[in-house]
Chain A
Amino acid sequence: KQEVTQIPAALSVPEGENLVLNCSFTDSAIYNLQWFRQDPGKGLTSLLLIQSSQREQTSGRLNASLDKSSGRSTLYIAASQPGDSATYLCAVRLIQILSYNTDKLIFGTGTRLQVFP
């Protein structure tokens, strides 16, 4: 059974710091891994998606890496800003060989980030 763990559970940092959020998963047979952002009272926004054959993806100040063999991914946030305050979730998409278009996402419990001025 795939389990996804995120550490730390919460993080509070001053503005300008570089951050690393960690995600680990128990089964390396994944299709891809995705990082989401969740703001209070709002849905999830996809930040980065890494295919299983890729090692990293970048978007602006965000960089996500994937080491499938060790079951780990990291989300790097450069020069953090108060607007980055949110909960960050990672999710792995399982390989569903026998079922057409089933694409179950298994989510971690999230890291709640607070960036203060």
Chain B
Amino acid sequence: EAGVAQSPRYKIIEKRQSVAFWCNPISGHATLYWYQQILGQGPKLLIQFQNNGVVDDSQLPKDRFSAERLKGVDSTLKIQPAKLEDSAVYLCASSLDGGKETQYFGPGTRLLVL
């Protein structure tokens, strides 16, 4: 079974530029998560989708971050404009149907904002 796929794996941009990350969850998984992991910290949930609807985006900085999952499968996370403090690893995870189901994580996208 293929795991959660993410691209790109690495990205370097200058502040105030825009960047987008892509995630393809495990086939059949209804729930998709985006986490931000700053160096030395644990992952922090940014947004959770159930199919193509948002379940929780309480920690998403909506003035600069946006995410979508239009067809209920793959998802994109965008930052516009990026700030220095956005440098982090962005992890995507999916689970069969949320709730108590195990979350499976992708390898992450490492973002460096200069």
Contacts and interface: CB of A to CB of B under 8 A. Distances in A.
Interface of A: 4, 31-32, 34, 36, 41-46, 49, 89, 91, 93, 99-105, 107-110
B40 A43 contact: no
A44 B105 contact: yes
Interface residues of B, number: 28
Contacts of A110: 42
A91 B105 contact: no
Q: Which 7 pairs across A and B sit closest by C-beta, in order of nearness?
A: A107-B42, A101-B98, A43-B105, A44-B105, A43-B107, A101-B99, A107-B43
B91 A103 contact: no
B42 A91 contact: yes
Interface of B: 4, 31, 40-45, 48, 50, 55-56, 91, 93, 95, 97-108, 110
Contact of A102 (B43, B56, B101): B56
28 contacts: A36-B105, A41-B108, A42-B108, A43-B4, A43-B91, A43-B93, A44-B43, A44-B91, A45-B105, A46-B102, A46-B103, A46-B104, A49-B102, A89-B43, A91-B42, A93-B100, A99-B55, A99-B56, A101-B31, A101-B99, A102-B48, A102-B56, A103-B95, A104-B45, A104-B56, A105-B103, A108-B42, A109-B40
B42 A103 contact: no
A39 to B, nearest CB: 10
Nearest to A32: B100
A101 B103 contact: no
Nearest to A31: B100
Contacts of A104: 45, 48, 56
A111 B95 CA distance: 25
B108 A43 contact: yes
B75 to A, nearest CB: 15
A2 to B, nearest CB: 12
Among B42, B43, B104, B106: residue with most chain A CB under 10 A: B42
Contacts of A32: 100
